[in-house]
Amino acid sequence: MPRTVRKDTADGTGAGFPSRPAQKVVGHLSNKWNVLVIRRLSRRTMRYSELRRDIGDISQKMLTQTLRHLERVGLVERKVYPVVPPKVEYSLTELGWTLVEPIDVLCTWAIENIDQVEASIGRYDRRQKRKET
């Protein structure tokens, strides 16, 4: 199927976009942990320990950094309850909710195309290995 090259400035690199907004935003989001946290919080508000348990292979340090970053860029809200022991819950902000559909589309694409991506990686790696020998 022939590919169509878009001539618009949707990537934020064309005229009228001197600060390259798409590059900035993608830079803020381009981390697998950000995507995983946003997907988990799209299901429901969660406590830190629930998020960590649900994601599984994320370290405490990385989850803390990820949540702080997502809060900083306005995608996640942190609510602290004045109780002992402290209770903290995380949820998506209105802005965070606007990302759920695009992330779901990306994840669907990934599921549908993982075999092709992995096959391509294998072919590339084999070619590189032959060049080295």
- Domain range annotation of the chain: 21-132
Residue 85 has pLDDT above 80, yes or no: yes
What is the per-residue pLDDT for 9?
53
Residue 7 has pLDDT above 80, yes or no: no
Distance (Å, rounded) from C-alpha 69 to C-alpha 87?
A: 20
pLDDT tier for residue 26 given thresholds of 50, 70 and 90: confident
What is the per-residue pLDDT for 39?
94
Is the full-model pTM beyond 0.85?
A: no
Query: Residues 10, 60: contact at Cβ < 8 Å?
Result: no
pLDDT tier for residue 30 given thresholds of 50, 70 and 90: confident
DSSP string, 94-121: HHHHTTHHHHHHHHHHHHHHHHHHHHHH
CA-closest candidate to residue 54, choices 36, 29, 75, 32:
36
pLDDT tier for residue 10 given thresholds of 50, 70 and 90: low
What is the per-residue pLDDT for 32?
87
Mean pLDDT across the stretch 54-61?
A: 94
Please report which helix (H) or strand (E) contains residue 61, including its range. helix 60-72
Query: Where on the phi/psi map is residue 24: left (φ > 0), alpha (ψ -120 to 50), or beta?
Result: alpha
Q: What separation in angstroms does the CA of 132 have from each of 89, 111, 113, 122, 127?
A: 52, 32, 29, 15, 9
Q: Which two tokens stand for residue 57?
A: 């292979």
Task: Give 21-132's CATH code, choosing from 1.10.10.10, 3.30.830.10, 1.10.3210.10, 3.30.1330.100.
Answer: 1.10.10.10
